[in-house]
């Protein structure tokens, strides 16, 4: 795919000791005097690169998929305040870069006369807030292009439910109206990507009916938009994958927003950071083995996702020439199956949900599931959860799925304080706001 960012992005790199929400991209002296907002929009895309590694590490190393080895990093599995020591590597880079993306998106939404640019910016703002809410819960909301540095009124954290209903969902609905699917392979967002993200958002808030409706539209329109399941699982996270709906682009030809802080997401999984030389959690290996035993066949995804002998992850093998997949079709299919099963406890609903799983399992080298055995809503629910774990392993999804589905304790094999379902607000933000931005319960010091 053609890379978006080019050198113009350097204009918008923001460095400041002030609170991230108070920052305005330099050289946008009078943003409303600009006529070309393409570079500002590219900045909003670019800053997503600062969230990829933190999200990947949080999603898989917090869960039962991957392990940290060197102290204090194993606190990812201990669920206490030790994890605050990773603030500079994971939480602050994600937090600050997503707010930079939001500021850039705000500039485009507020000032651009191009409805497609505005639609893309609305998607990116929604995506940024969705990531923030998933990781941190209640967060500060800024919808202005140039927030006042002397006005602290925007700093208090807003309820996650309000952010979903008043920012994320409306932004995506507006984006769907403004976008088409002409840019689906160019690295830019599209109408179908905005719809897919909206369906995923509905699943995260437990609105299964709206989720089913939106996800059905995505699935029905996928082929006409050029999005189809990859025939070979080996290709699902490659830059040329036919099932990618949206990816954050990376290239060694430019520095991403996370570079130089620490190992990037492919390296963490591959054991290239001494903090976790052998990151594979045996529980993930066992899950792949159980998949083959229970379902019949050999789960081809195992050898394409993990190296059992080396105890590493191998799904992302292209380093930083490989993009970070944010949305792909099999993820959407599995969410749709889940929504169908949750919306109706009937034989027809169970059949419909399991039918969606069949092509994903066949691609993985497995037999289709026996629909006569999976004859309750709970059994189908668990089958979908199990499929999501293996299909999306090492894509930064697992922990957030456990929290979303209320299965943290059951899957992690321990009782975990719900305070640790979320991650800590960067302490520097709490300090810079003089306590107006509060810390999440469990992390306050």
Encode pLDDT of 368-407 as tens digits: 999 999 999 999 999 999 999 999 999 999 999 999 999 9
b/e string for 114-136 if b means 16 or more Cβ within 10 A? Answer: bebbbbbbbbbbbbbbbbbbbbb
338 located within any domain: yes
pLDDT given at position 3: 57
d(CA 255, CA 280) in angstroms, rounded, equals 28
164 located within any domain: yes
Domain that holds residue 173: 7-15+34-259+314-344+394-432
Residue 307: enclosing H or E segment and its boundaries?
Answer: strand 306-307
Q: Is 60 exceeded by the pLDDT of residue 6?
A: no
CATH assignment of the domain containing 192: 1.25.40.390
Contacts of residue 379, defined as CB under 8 A and 6 or more positions apart, other chains included, come to: 373
pLDDT given at position 260: 61
Of 136, 129, 194, 131, give the one whose Cα is nearest residue 163.
Answer: 129
Q: Is 50 exceeded by the pLDDT of residue 18?
A: no
282 located within any domain: no
Report the greatest alpha carbon distance in the chain: 66
369 located within any domain: no
d(CA 40, CA 17) in angstroms, rounded, equals 22
Q: What is the mean pLDDT of the chain?
A: 91
Residue 95: enclosing H or E segment and its boundaries?
Answer: helix 92-111
Interval 52-77 mean pLDDT: 94
445 located within any domain: no
d(CA 174, CA 122) in angstroms, rounded, equals 7
Split into its structural domains, the chain has a count of 1
- Per DSSP, 65 falls in state S
d(CA 137, CA 159) in angstroms, rounded, equals 8
pLDDT given at position 20: 52
132 touches 423 (CB < 8 A): no
Orientation of helix 92-111 relative to helix 115-136, angle to 10°: 150
Secondary structure (3-state) at 12: helix
358 located within any domain: no
Interval 69-88 mean pLDDT: 91
365 located within any domain: no
Residue in this structure with the two tokens 């497609």, named with its chain if needed: 116
24-28, 29-33, 170-174, 292-296: least confident range: 24-28
Secondary structure (3-state) at 382: helix
239 located within any domain: yes
Q: Express as a percent the part of the chain with pLDDT over 90.
A: 81
Q: Is 90 exceeded by the pLDDT of residue 63?
A: yes
Res. 2 pLDDT band, cuts 50 70 90: very low
pLDDT given at position 68: 94
pLDDT digits (tens, 9 = 90+) for 248-306: 999 888 889 997 667 899 999 999 999 999 999 999 999 999 988 766 789 999 999 99
pLDDT given at position 30: 46
d(CA 427, CA 411) in angstroms, rounded, equals 30
pLDDT given at position 445: 67
pLDDT given at position 295: 66
d(CA 15, CA 36) in angstroms, rounded, equals 24
Q: Where are the alpha helices (DSSP H) in 223-366?
A: 265-269, 282-295, 301-305, 329-343, 347-363
pLDDT given at position 39: 94
pTM: 0.93
How long, in residues, is the chain? 445
Q: Is the dihedral of CA 243, 338, 382, 66 positive or negative?
A: positive
Res. 247 pLDDT band, cuts 50 70 90: very high
Residue in this structure with the two tokens 């949900």, named with its chain if needed: 353
Secondary structure (3-state) at 375: coil
Res. 11 pLDDT band, cuts 50 70 90: very low
Q: Is 70 exceeded by the pLDDT of residue 162?
A: yes
Interval 325-351 mean pLDDT: 97
Rg (CA), the chain: 21
């Amino acid at each position: 795919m053609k890379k978006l960012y080019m050198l113009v992005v350097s204009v918008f790199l923001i460095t400041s000791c002030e609170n991230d929400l108070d920052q305005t991209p330099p050289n946008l002296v009078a943003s409303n005097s600009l006529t070309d907002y393409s570079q500002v929009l590219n900045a909003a895309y670019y800053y997503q690169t600062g969230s990829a590694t933190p999200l990947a590490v949080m999603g898989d190393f917090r869960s039962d998929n991957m392990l940290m080895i060197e102290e204090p990093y194993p606190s990812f599995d201990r669920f206490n305040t030790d994890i605050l020591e990773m603030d500079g590597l994971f939480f602050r880079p994600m937090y600050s870069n997503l707010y930079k993306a939001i500021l850039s998106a705000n500039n485009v939404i507020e000032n651009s006369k191009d409805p497609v640019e505005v639609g893309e910016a609305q998607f990116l703002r929604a995506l940024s807030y969705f990531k923030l809410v998933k990781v941190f819960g209640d967060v500060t909301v800024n919808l202005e292009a140039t927030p006042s540095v002397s006005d602290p009124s925007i700093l208090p954290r807003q309820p996650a439910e309000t952010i979903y209903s008043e920012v994320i969902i409306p932004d995506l609905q507006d984006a769907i109206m403004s976008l088409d699917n002409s840019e689906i392979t160019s690295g830019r967002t599209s109408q179908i990507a905005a719809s897919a993200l909206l369906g995923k958002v509905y699943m995260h808030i437990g609105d299964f009916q709206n989720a089913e409706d939106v996800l059905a539209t995505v699935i029905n329109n996928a082929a006409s938009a050029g999005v189809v399941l990859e025939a070979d699982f080996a290709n699902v996270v490659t830059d040329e994958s036919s099932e990618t709906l949206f990816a954050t682009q990376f290239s060694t030809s430019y520095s991403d927003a996370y570079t130089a802080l620490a190992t990037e997401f492919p390296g963490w999984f591959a054991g290239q950071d001494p903090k976790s030389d052998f990151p594979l959690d045996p529980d993930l290996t066992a899950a792949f083995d159980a998949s083959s035993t229970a379902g019949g066949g050999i789960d081809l995804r195992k050898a394409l996702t993990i190296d059992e002998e080396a105890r590493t992850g191998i799904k992302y093998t292209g380093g930083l020439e490989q993009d970070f997949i944010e949305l792909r079709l099999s993820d959407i299919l599995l969410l749709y199956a889940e929504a169908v099963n949750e919306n109706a406890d009937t034989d027809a609903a169970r059949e419909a949900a399991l039918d969606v799983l069949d092509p994903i399992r066949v691609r993985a080298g497995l037999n289709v599931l026996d629909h006569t055995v999976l004859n309750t809503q709970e059994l189908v629910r668990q089958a979908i959860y199990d499929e999501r774990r293996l299909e999306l392993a090492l894509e930064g999804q697992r922990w957030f799925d456990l929290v979303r589905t209320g299965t943290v304790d059951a899957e992690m094999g321990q009782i975990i304080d719900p305070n640790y379902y979320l991650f800590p607000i960067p302490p520097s933000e709490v300090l810079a706001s003089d306590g107006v931005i509060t810390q999440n319960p469990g992390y306050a010091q």
